[in-house]
């Protein structure tokens, strides 16, 4: 964790100014850990719109690697996390539904977002293509965070970048979506890069990736 970055154990916030609110989107394929990621960092009970998986999703949603997953996000996840000075931001985290059939909601969910996290599972890397394409098309700054599931083969960030054909400027980080510290590290990276792009707008014209 970088000293100047957001940290779960930072000192209490200054009382005199309100933190800047930043909207962050957490996207990625079905079952990649988006709901877990938002829940791990949120200081409020996350708002979830999970529906019980039913027979209707049989043959549609691939559950072969997701033993124990009984719910699926049908609208969005919402969580909030305040990071006191020196970061002094409050992150509003919106998790997207993973399945393609809910893509019609993405324009609303991503409106006003300063940056996005694309979560990836190396066992099903191709499932993050739609999110990568979406954020590239919409010039939304993003990074790729690989949620390292137990038993999945370990790939380096450069191997993941090559497999996804991402340019060098795209940050690829490894994370554990269940760990508050790990999620904070990903968000710290994202916010630092997104804010530095705002301060240096010439980089914005060079494309969206962080």
Ligand X SMILES: Nc1nc2c(ncn2[C@@H]2O[C@H](COP(=O)(O)OP(=O)(O)O)[C@@H](O)[C@H]2O)c(=O)[nH]1
Does residue 30 belong to the site contacting ligand X (CB under 6 A)? yes
The minimum distance between CB 145 and ligand X, in angstroms, equals 11
Q: Using alpha carbons only, give the angle 104, 146, 131 rounded to the nearest 5 degrees.
A: 20
The phi, psi pair for 14, rounded to 5°, reads -65, 145
* Candidate ranges 9-17, 143-151, 158-166, 190-198; the one touching ligand X (CB under 6 A): 143-151
Give the number of other CB atoms < 10 A from CB of residue 133. Answer: 10
Does residue 66 belong to the site contacting ligand X (CB under 6 A)? yes
Select from 10, 110, 140, 147 the one that contacts ligand X (CB under 6 A). 147
Q: Which residue has the tokens 């609208």?
A: 75
Does residue 96 belong to the site contacting ligand X (CB under 6 A)? no
- What is the size of the binding site for ligand X (CB under 6 A)? 18
Does residue 73 belong to the site contacting ligand X (CB under 6 A)? yes
Which CB sits closer to Mg ion, 79 or 141? 79
Cβ contact 41:119 at 8 Å: no
Q: How far is CA 57 from CA 15, 49, 99, 125, 204, in A?
A: 49, 16, 11, 21, 40
As a whole number of angstroms, the distance between CA 151 and CA 132 comes to 25
Does residue 52 belong to the site contacting ligand X (CB under 6 A)? no
Write down how long the chain is: 210
**H or E stretch at 173:** strand 172-175
Which CB sits closer to ligand X, 12 or 151? 151
Select from 10, 42, 73, 99 the one that contacts Mg ion (CB under 5 A). 73
Select from 7, 10, 35, 140 the one that contacts Mg ion (CB under 5 A). 35
Q: Which residues bind Mg ion (CB under 5 A)?
A: 34-35, 73
Q: Which residues bind ligand X (CB under 6 A)?
A: 30-36, 66, 68-69, 73, 98, 147, 149-150, 176-178
């Amino acid at each position: 964790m970088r000293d100047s970055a957001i940290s779960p154990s930072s000192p209490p916030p200054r009382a005199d100014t309100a933190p800047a609110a930043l909207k962050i989107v957490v996207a990625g394929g079905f079952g990649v850990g988006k709901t877990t990621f938002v829940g791990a960092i949120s200081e409020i009970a996350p708002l979830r719109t999970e529906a019980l998986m039913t027979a209707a999703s049989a043959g549609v949603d691939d559950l072969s690697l997701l033993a124990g997953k009984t719910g699926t996000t049908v609208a969005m996840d919402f969580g909030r996390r305040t990071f006191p000075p020196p970061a002094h931001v409050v992150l509003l985290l919106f998790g997207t539904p993973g399945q393609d059939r809910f893509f019609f909601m993405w324009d609303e969910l991503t409106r006003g977002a300063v940056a996005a996290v694309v979560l990836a599972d190396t066992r099903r890397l191709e499932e993050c293509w739609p999110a990568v394409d979406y954020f590239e098309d919409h010039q939304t700054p993003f990074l790729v965070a690989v949620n390292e599931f137990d038993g999945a083969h370990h790939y380096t960030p450069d191997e993941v970048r090559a497999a996804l054909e991402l340019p060098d400027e795209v940050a690829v980080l490894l994370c554990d979506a269940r760990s508050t510290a790990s999620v904070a590290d990903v968000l710290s990276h994202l916010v630092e890069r997104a804010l530095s792009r705002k301060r240096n707008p010439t980089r914005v014209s060079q494309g969206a990736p962080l």
